[in-house]
């Protein structure tokens, strides 16, 4: 089929992809083939090699252990290099690499020229070090990445997976989480304000009207309204926000709904910022932020009538995921509501998805290994005793949000470079530009899930009235106040309370 069968969009709400940006990548992989190789290679070796061919079943098992990892690495490498694209409806332009990027490093320049594509991991590492530059607008060049970059597994990626990623997945200790989270989120409030803007919300906003170009602040206000509506907040509610960030939702809920709100974050700067915002909003008597690990949340069965956690569970890790959800279950009142937002990679992945995920884990969100598919997340939630009421998939909403972060970041380049250096600017501009594309095309998405305990005595009929997905709007006009934080941000007269 020709590229004429693939349609582009022209929607004001998002950064629309050009035709080349809609090309599919390589997703060639088969678990049965891999299993056959892992079991078959040692069988063949045992049959033909001297000495070991005299051994029995134990010798075979020894060879399975000995050759399993190298065989797997070889299989992944070859498939990522030579596997076919999902389809070729979109034809790639076939331009020389020099039309997209400028390679300043002599060794790299000799290796990658003309139609010789550069591995994406090699590219972004060299870009961060200033050895490569984009020829034109970063976003435009990345849209055409399949024409100049290879999405293959490199030795450096395997090294990272085996020596850092997998050990962190296995351990995920409290000390490890604290070190990684604080190293990331305590970098500086100004650093984050230069792309998050005055709301200081580091999670996906929500598009309310795709036919207009809503501001970042509007997208985030839409999200706050939707989350609080799904929680069905009342003045007598006790709300817990696990992973509250800079405390915007904590202050918003306390101000607009009169409920008692407790936020939890590991970030020291975030806690300090959030407490200042709470005080500015005049809700200190019913809102607070605890700077602690989620494992240290004050215990108390049914202590909270409503619980929310927005894009924090990725940091919990696969190993501790079920235990975390059981903890939430115990903290929630039997008649309570839990709104859970989490990002994840699609199960029908392409190699690009995995390479992007490893980049994110190494450079942006270390330790966030629990970015799993929606099906996996739902299974974990149901196993913990929750009943799913509603699921909204917000990937394209996240793309719209991140694109606005990207625009903010680019506009603040001089400030970032002056204080944090060119490398930090490069890492984040690549992260934001690429993530805009990744979330738009479905490589990764974000799921907003509303649930309650799966108990006979839960009055499900009471949840019918607000069972209206992301079209929910507030029943009242929210209160807005100005806020001036310690990082010398400009005062805004339109911050959510």
The predicted-structure confidence for 356-392, as pLDDT tens digits, reads as follows 999 999 999 887 788 899 999 999 999 999 999 999 9
- List the beta bridge partners of residue 264: 242, 290
Residue 492 has pLDDT above 60, yes or no: no
Predicted structure pTM score: 0.91
Residue 494 has pLDDT above 50, yes or no: no
Q: Alpha-carbon distance 229 to 223, whole Å?
A: 10
Share above pLDDT 70 across residues of the chain, in percent, rounded to a whole number = 92
The predicted-structure confidence for 80-90, as pLDDT tens digits, reads as follows 999 999 999 99
Mean pLDDT of 231-237: 96
Distance of CA 26 to the CA centre of its chain: 22
| Cα→Cα distances 99→102, 117, 118, 141, 199, Å | 8, 12, 13, 9, 39
**pLDDT band per the 50, 70, 90 thresholds, residue 497:** very low
Domain 175-455 has CATH 3.40.50.150: yes
pLDDT of residue 266: 92
pLDDT of residue 339: 98
Of 448, 228, 265, 203, nearest in space to 340 by CA: 448
Mean pLDDT of 126-147: 97
Query: Which H or E element spans position 391?
Result: strand 386-393
Residue 487 has pLDDT above 70, yes or no: no
The encoded tokens of residue 151 equal 């999405």
Q: Alpha-carbon distance 20 to 269, whole Å?
A: 41
Q: Where are the domains of the chain?
A: 22-85, 92-152, 175-455
Mean pLDDT of 260-269: 95
Mean pLDDT of 88-107: 97
Residue 246: is it exposed, middle or buried by C-beta count within 10 angstroms (0-12/13-18/19+)? Answer: buried
pLDDT of residue 126: 98
The predicted-structure confidence for 31-80, as pLDDT tens digits, reads as follows 999 999 999 999 999 999 998 888 899 999 999 999 999 999 999 999 99
**pLDDT band per the 50, 70, 90 thresholds, residue 176:** low
| Residue 486 CB neighbours (<10 A) | 11
Q: Which residues contact 257 (CB under 8 A, 6 or more apart)?
A: 228, 233, 234, 235, 237
pLDDT of residue 2: 59
Residue 98 has pLDDT above 90, yes or no: yes
Task: Give one DSSP letter per residue of 34-99, joined into a string.
Answer: HHHHHHHHHHHHHHHSTTGGG--HHHHHHHHHHHHHHHHHHHHHHHHHHPPBS--SSPP----GGG
Backbone angles phi, psi at 310, to 5 degrees: -110, 105
**pLDDT band per the 50, 70, 90 thresholds, residue 289:** very high
Share above pLDDT 90 across residues of the chain, in percent, rounded to a whole number = 82
pLDDT of residue 365: 86
The predicted-structure confidence for 432-478, as pLDDT tens digits, reads as follows 999 999 999 999 999 999 999 999 999 999 988 888 787 655 566 67
What is the chain's mean pLDDT, rounded? 92
Task: Give one DSSP letter per residue of 300-334, joined into a string.
Answer: -TT-EEEEEEES-GGGT-TTTHHHHHHHHHHHEEE
Mean pLDDT of 144-162: 96
pLDDT of residue 474: 56
Distance of CA 146 to the CA centre of its chain: 22
Q: What DSSP state is assigned to residue 148?
A: T
């Amino acid at each position: 089929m020709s590229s004429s069968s693939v349609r582009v969009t022209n929607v004001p709400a998002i950064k629309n992809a050009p035709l080349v940006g809609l090309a599919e990548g390589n997703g060639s992989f088969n678990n049965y083939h891999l299993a056959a190789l892992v079991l078959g290679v040692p069988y063949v070796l045992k049959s033909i090699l001297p000495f070991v061919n005299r051994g029995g079943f134990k010798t075979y098992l020894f060879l399975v252990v000995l050759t399993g990892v190298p065989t797997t690495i070889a299989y992944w490498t070859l498939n990522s290099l030579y596997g076919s694209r999902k389809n070729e409806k979109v034809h790639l332009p076939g331009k020389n690499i020099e039309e997209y990027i400028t390679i300043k490093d002599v060794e790299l320049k000799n290796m990658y020229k003309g139609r010789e594509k550069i591995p994406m991991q090699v590219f972004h590492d060299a870009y961060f070090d200033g050895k490569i530059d984009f020829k034109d607008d970063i976003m435009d060049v990345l849209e055409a990445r399949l024409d100049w970059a290879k999405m293959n597994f490199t030795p450096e990626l395997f090294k990272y997976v085996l020596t850092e990623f997998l050990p962190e997945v296995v351990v995920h200790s409290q000390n490890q989480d604290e070190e990684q989270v604080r190293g990331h989120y305590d970098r500086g409030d100004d650093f984050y304000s230069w792309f998050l803007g005055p709301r200081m919300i580091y999670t996906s906003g929500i598009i309310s009207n795709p036919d207009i170009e809503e501001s970042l602040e509007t997208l985030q206000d839409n999200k706050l309204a939707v989350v609080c509506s799904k929680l069905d907040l009342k003045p007598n509610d006790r709300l817990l926000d696990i992973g509250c960030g800079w405390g915007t939702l904590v202050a918003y809920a306390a101000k607009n709904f009169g409920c008692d709100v407790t936020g939890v974050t590991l970030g020291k700067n975030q806690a300090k910022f959030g407490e200042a915002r709470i005080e500015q909003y005049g809700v200190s008597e019913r809102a607070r932020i605890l700077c602690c690990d989620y494992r240290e949340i004050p215990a108390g069965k049914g202590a909270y009538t409503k619980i929310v956690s927005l894009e924090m569970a990725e940091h919990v890790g696969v190993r501790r995921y079920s235990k975390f959800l059981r903890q939430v279950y115990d903290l929630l009142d039997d008649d309570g509501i839990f709104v859970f937002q989490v990002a994840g990679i699609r199960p029908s992945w392409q190699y690009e998805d995995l390479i992007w995920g490893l980049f994110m884990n190494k450079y942006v969100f270390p330790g966030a290994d629990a970015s799993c598919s929606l099906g996996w997340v739902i299974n974990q939630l149901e196993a913990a005793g929750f009943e799913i009421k509603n699921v909204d998939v917000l990937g394209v909403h996240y793309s719209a949000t991140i694109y606005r972060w990207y625009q903010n970041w680019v506009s603040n380049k001089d400030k970032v470079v002056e204080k944090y250096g060119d490398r930090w600017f490069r890492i984040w501009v690549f992260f934001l530009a690429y993530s805009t594309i990744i979330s738009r095309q479905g490589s990764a998405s974000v799921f907003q899930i509303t649930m309650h305990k799966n108990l006979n005595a839960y009055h499900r009929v009471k949840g019918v009235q607000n069972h209206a997905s992301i079209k929910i709007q507030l029943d009242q006009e929210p209160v807005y106040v100005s806020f001036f934080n310690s990082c010398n941000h400009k005062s805004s007269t339109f911050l959510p309370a």
